[in-house]
């Protein structure tokens, strides 16, 4: 019997001339799937994806659990939480993530809630490498 | 050299016949033809289980390709979402939803990578967030 690998390493992606801890996240809901980049943000409480991603998965994002978050600028943004399947590298996890049409930053965030309690992220900014391990 | 028979008479007759026909129709009011809009071919819907997702290796290769072309894309597609499949752009739009539609039209059989190309004036800042209730407790 072979043991499942517990660690996955990936290079940072280039974003506006900066190598950044951005990973491709596969999102699953039933059989629908979307692949979007997400900035791994250990300072973010919730993972936030654009509402259009929910649409691509056949979800009405406004039907999720509504919460409000405050960003660094003090702006309150409503989020709608949904449980979807996530694949990050070799890891498949169910996670409750937020969808918003008011984030307005053009990219998605992978935050701590329901993700960082399953996966550990280790940032190596010197070599531009992100190591993900299952806890 | 063999002489080619002139078609001039025949042409003249045709013209005369055409003009006579037009003259007879002159008093008849013209009925407008109904406008028929060309139907835009709807994207074929491929069941999700039949769509091909990129492998881990392909994602790494395509990400390298994206990284290499990033400066070029920032000039060509600022503020656009791109749908990528096999190191090609199969859809580009400033609308996130639209790029899914374009990609579905171009390659309905695949699950492309969707990425965003920022505008030059967009500040590179990540708004870390926390629940609004935490804010209320500190007030």
ipTM: 0.86
Between residues B42 and A110, the one the model is more confident about: A110
Judge contact between A66 and A92, C-beta under 8 A: no
Chain B contacts of A35, Cβ < 8 Å? 53-54, 59, 111-114
Report the pLDDT value the prediction gives residue B10, as an integer from 0 to 100. 60
Nearest by CB to residue B129, choosing from A24, A37, A44, is: A44
Report the pLDDT value the prediction gives residue A29, as an integer from 0 to 100. 96
Closest CA to A87 of B27, B132, B111, B92: B111
Taking the CA of residue B42 and the nearest CA in chain A, the distance in Å comes to: 17
Give the C-alpha distances (Å, rounded to integers) separating B102 from A17, A114, B90: 27, 32, 7
pLDDT one-digit tens code per residue, A47-80: 999 999 999 999 999 999 999 998 777 778 899 9
Q: What is the biggest distance separating any 2 CA atoms in chain B, rounded to whole angstroms?
A: 106
Closest CA to A73 of A35, A109, A96, A104: A104
Least confident of A86-100, B23-37, B83-97, B102-116: B23-37
Chain B contacts of A39, Cβ < 8 Å? 126
Least confident of A15-29, A45-59, B60-74, B120-134: B120-134
Rounded-to-integer distance, Cα A34 and Cα B103, Å: 12
Closest CA to A25 of A6, A50, A60: A50
Whether residues B128 and A43 touch (CB distance < 8 A) is answered with yes
Closest CA to A132 of A8, A5, A1: A8
Average per-residue pLDDT for chain B: 80
Least confident of A83-87, A120-124, B44-48, B101-105: B44-48
CATH placement of domain A7-134? 2.40.70.10
E strand or H helix at B102 = helix B96-106
Domain edges within chain B: 48-117
pLDDT one-digit tens code per residue, B55-103: 999 999 999 999 999 889 999 999 999 999 999 999 999 999 999 999 9
Rounded-to-integer distance, Cα A19 and Cα A129, Å: 9
Please, is A5 exposed, middle or buried when counting C-beta atoms within 10 Å of its C-beta (0-12, 13-18, 19+)?
exposed
């Amino acid at each position: 019997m072979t043991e499942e690998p517990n660690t996955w390493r990936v290079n940072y992606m280039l974003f506006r001339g900066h190598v950044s801890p951005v990973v491709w996240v596969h999102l699953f809901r039933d059989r629908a799937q979307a692949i979007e980049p997400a900035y791994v943000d250990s300072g973010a409480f919730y993972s936030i994806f654009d509402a259009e991603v929910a649409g691509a998965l056949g979800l009405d994002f406004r039907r999720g659990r509504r919460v409000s978050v405050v960003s660094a600028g003090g702006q309150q943004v409503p989020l709608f939480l949904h449980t979807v399947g996530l694949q990050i590298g070799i890891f498949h996890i169910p996670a409750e993530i937020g969808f918003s049409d008011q984030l307005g930053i053009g990219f998605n965030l992978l935050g701590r809630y329901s993700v960082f309690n399953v996966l550990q992220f280790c940032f190596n900014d010197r070599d531009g490498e992100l190591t993900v391990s299952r806890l | 050299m063999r002489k080619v028979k002139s078609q001039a008479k025949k042409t003249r007759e045709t013209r005369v016949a055409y003009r006579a026909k037009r003259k007879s129709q002159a008093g008849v009011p013209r009925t407008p033809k109904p406008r028929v809009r060309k139907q835009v071919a709807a994207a074929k819907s491929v069941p999700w289980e039949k769509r091909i997702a990129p492998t881990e290796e392909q994602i790494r290769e395509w990400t390298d390709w994206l990284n290499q072309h990033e400066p070029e894309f920032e000039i060509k597609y600022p503020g656009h979402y791109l749908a990528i499949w096999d190191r090609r752009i199969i859809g580009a739009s400033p609308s996130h939803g639209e790029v899914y539609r374009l990609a579905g039209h171009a390659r309905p059989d695949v699950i492309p990578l969707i990425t965003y190309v920022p505008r030059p004036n967009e500040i590179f800042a990540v708004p870390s967030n926390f629940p609004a209730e935490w804010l209320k407790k500190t007030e």
